[in-house]
């Protein structure tokens, strides 16, 4: 017996009797539907590695093929009958590492096309890889997964197994990895068999109560929201230094919360200040590997939790932090419910212009895999592998904040929808977030409306530059006298122009005098209120 759900214990995930048509997991089913509806380029997961030293291409290819052989989900295709999707596991024999001689060429565009090339989920392996050769000791390895068969946890499994296999093969040894007791297809069958609505009823009731009537987040955008949500996007990054990071850790410890909860609470304050809304719902990813037997598996286990907070009444930050802490812990207790079932239970009408329940994601990770040679570098004999950054050009949500803690530094990466935002807007938003964090550690007992959002340069611009409006007008002459002086000096000068029509100062003076005499004839005297009607 394993995980407790809905007041009863569920069986552990074990080898299942496989029907002719293996069902999709709930997560796979949602992603397959999206792929059929509009494609799924935003669900491609790329990894790029610079290889310095002599590469054993045969061992490299064999290592990847062994990983694909070990994990059925990487060689599983999705077929359908009568609109219902099902899994079919293929052989690993047709998988191959692509080789390309790059020479001295700039291959950045080629790499982009390779990463963005659509997966045909009905025929393609869910992992593809290409090795670019620049010289004998300089290569670039590009790996692309489809999210329907992988997640962040899976990436680590694949990379760790691949490096162990390559190290063994390149040294003429036999690789030995522990056997897998189950495969992802077994999990999908188990999930359909045991995670039924009746079993999950208590947990679904929690989410229905927690999310009922949740408001869509209406952040100010640079462009009008399209009728159908697109996937074009961009990425902006920022680093928060050691000093502020340590202060945030100290604040979290003093309030008996995690750094994640503190950063999430600050993020919700940012959204509140930007939108003016007090009902703020944010999505967070969770590994959802609560059972030991699925921990070593590659697959799409990742689940999504929707965390809703009430920021009304201008609470102090520490009070809001306690609320977010309680909400987060409650969500963790109900995390096994597939997000797809929560959406089906809570959302009555789908809006194709935005994702359901929440429009922004927040993710926090701790990176403790730093090699001896430097950040993200490992050594395999004479070969050094260094992970290279890659700029995303797609976005699953309006905004996705990803914060990675590396040592005492926080690296923030924001993936944004370019249908809605310009890059400069997101750069400012990141600056505001850092200013907000600095204000929080200085005044955690301040209300969320009192916390500083602007950088010092922005405060100077708004309070001093924009308000420096003094003009040297004569103080002993009223407006009418100044206008009449201008009329006498430049009666033929253009006073007004609009859509190709213009009026001189002399014409304007004559017209205004006629209106003035008319008002006087109607009894208007100084300090009378006169209504003005304009189109």
The string of DSSP codes covering 122-147 is TTS-SEEEEEEEEETTEEEEEEEEEG
Are 180 and 190 within 8 A, CB to CB? no
Q: How many other β-carbons are positioned within 10 Å of the β-carbon of residue 436?
A: 20
Q: Which pLDDT does position 21 carry in this prediction?
A: 96
Q: Which pLDDT does position 371 carry in this prediction?
A: 41
Exposed/middle/buried for residue 94 (C-beta within 10 Å: 0-12, 13-18, 19+): exposed
Which ranges of 410-453 would DSSP assign to H, the alpha helix? Answer: 423-442
Q: Output the CA angle 83-84-89, nearest 5 degrees.
A: 125
Q: Chain centroid to CA 76: how far?
A: 27
Low-confidence ranges of the chain (pLDDT < 70): 1-9, 368-376
Q: How far apart are CA 162 and CA 68, in angstroms?
A: 10
Predicted TM-score of the model (pTM): 0.82
Neighbouring residues of 106: CB distance < 8 A, sequence distance ≥ 6: none
Q: How many other β-carbons are positioned within 10 Å of the β-carbon of residue 471?
A: 4
Instruction: Give CB contacts under 8 A, 24+ apart, made by 239-243.
Output: 239/409, 239/410, 239/411, 239/412, 240/409, 240/410, 240/411, 240/412, 240/434, 240/437, 241/409, 242/407, 242/408, 242/409
Model pLDDT for residues 447-502, shown as the tens digit of each residue: 999 999 988 888 888 888 888 778 777 778 888 888 999 999 999 999 999 988 99
Exposed/middle/buried for residue 136 (C-beta within 10 Å: 0-12, 13-18, 19+): exposed
- Strands 360-366 and 399-406, how do they pair? parallel
| Structure tokens given for 480 | 């009418």
Determine the length of the chain: 535
Continuous segment of H or E residues that includes residue 361: strand 360-366
Measured in Å, how far apart are the chain's first and last C-alpha atoms? 74
Exposed/middle/buried for residue 143 (C-beta within 10 Å: 0-12, 13-18, 19+): buried
Q: How far apart are CA 32 and CA 48, in angstroms?
A: 26
DSSP letter at 18 equals P
Which ranges of 195-229 would DSSP assign to H, the alpha helix? Answer: 201-211
DSSP letter at 447 equals B
330 phi/psi in degrees, rounded to 5: -65, -40
The radius of gyration of the chain from alpha carbons, rounded to an integer in Å, stands at 31
Neighbouring residues of 155: CB distance < 8 A, sequence distance ≥ 6: 45, 47, 145
DSSP letter at 421 equals -
Q: How many other β-carbons are positioned within 10 Å of the β-carbon of residue 448?
A: 23
Q: Which pLDDT does position 143 carry in this prediction?
A: 97
Q: How far apart are CA 230 and CA 34, in angstroms?
A: 12
516: three-class secondary structure by DSSP: helix
Q: Which pLDDT does position 151 carry in this prediction?
A: 95
Are 328 and 264 within 8 A, CB to CB? yes
Neighbouring residues of 109: CB distance < 8 A, sequence distance ≥ 6: none
Q: Which pLDDT does position 110 carry in this prediction?
A: 96
Q: Which pLDDT does position 373 carry in this prediction?
A: 39
Question: 456-470 burial string, b = 16+ CB within 10 Å, else e?
Answer: eeeeeeeeeeeeeee
């Amino acid at each position: 017996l394993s995980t407790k759900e809905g007041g009863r214990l569920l069986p552990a995930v074990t080898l299942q009797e496989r029907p002719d048509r293996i069902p999709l997991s709930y997560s796979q089913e949602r992603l397959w539907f999206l792929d059929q509806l509009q494609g799924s380029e935003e669900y491609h997961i790329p990894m790029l590695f610079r290889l310095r030293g002599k590469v054993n291409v045969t061992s490299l290819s064999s290592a990847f093929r062994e990983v694909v052989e070990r994990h059925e989900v990487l060689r599983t295709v999705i077929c359908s009958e009568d609109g219902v999707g099902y899994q079919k596991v293929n052989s690993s024999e047709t998988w191959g590492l692509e080789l390309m001689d790059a020479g001295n060429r700039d291959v950045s565009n080629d790499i982009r096309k390779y990463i963005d090339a659509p997966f045909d989920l009905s025929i393609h392996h869910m992992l593809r890889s290409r090795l670019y050769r620049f010289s004998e000791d300089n290569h670039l390895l590009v790996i692309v997964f489809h999210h329907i068969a992988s997640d962040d946890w899976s990436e680590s499994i694949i990379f760790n197994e691949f490096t162990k296999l390559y190290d063994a093969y390149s040294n003429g040894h036999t690789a030995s990895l522990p056997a897998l007791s189950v495969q992802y297809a077994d999990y999908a069958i188990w999930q359909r068999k045991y995670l039924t609505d009746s079993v999950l009823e208590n947990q679904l009731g929690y989410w229905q109560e927690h999310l009922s009537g949740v408001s869509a987040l209406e952040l100010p955008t640079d462009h009008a929201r399209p009728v159908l949500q697109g996937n074009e996007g961009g990425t902006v990054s920022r680093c928060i230094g050691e000093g502020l990071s340590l202060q945030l850790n100290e604040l979290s410890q003093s309030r008996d919360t995690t750094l994640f909860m503190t950063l999430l609470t600050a993020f919700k304050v940012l959204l509140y200040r930007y939108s003016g809304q007090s009902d703020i719902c944010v999505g967070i990813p969770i590994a959802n590997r609560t059972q030991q037997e699925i921990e070593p598996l590659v697959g799409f286990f990742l689940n999504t939790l929707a965390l809703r907070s009430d920021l009304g009444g201008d609470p102090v930050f520490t009070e809001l932090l306690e609320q977010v802490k309680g909400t987060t812990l409650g969500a963790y207790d109900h995390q096994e419910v597939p997000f797809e079932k929560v959406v089906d239970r809570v959302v009555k009408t789908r809006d194709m212009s935005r994702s359901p329940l929440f429009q922004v994601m927040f993710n926090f990770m701790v990176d403790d895999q730093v090699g001896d040679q430097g950040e993200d570098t490992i050594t395999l004999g004479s070969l050094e592998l260094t992970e290279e950054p890659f700029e995303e050009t797609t976005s699953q949500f309006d905004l996705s904040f990803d914060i990675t803690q590396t040592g005492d530094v926080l690296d923030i990466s924001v993936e944004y929808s370019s249908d809605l935002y310009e890059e400069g807007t997101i750069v400012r938003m990141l600056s505001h977030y850092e200013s907000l964090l600095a204000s929080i550690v200085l005044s955690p007992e301040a209300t969320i409306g009192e916390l500083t959002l602007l950088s010092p340069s922005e405060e100077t611009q708004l309070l001093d530059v924009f308000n420096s409006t003094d003009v040297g007008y004569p103080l002993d002459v009223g407006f009418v006298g100044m206008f009449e002086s201008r009329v006498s000096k430049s009666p033929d000068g253009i006073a007004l122009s609009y859509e190709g029509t213009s009026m001189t100062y002399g014409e304007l003076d004559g017209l205004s005098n006629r209106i003035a005499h008319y008002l006087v004839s109607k009894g208007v005297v100084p300090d009378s209120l006169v209504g003005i009607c304009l189109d």
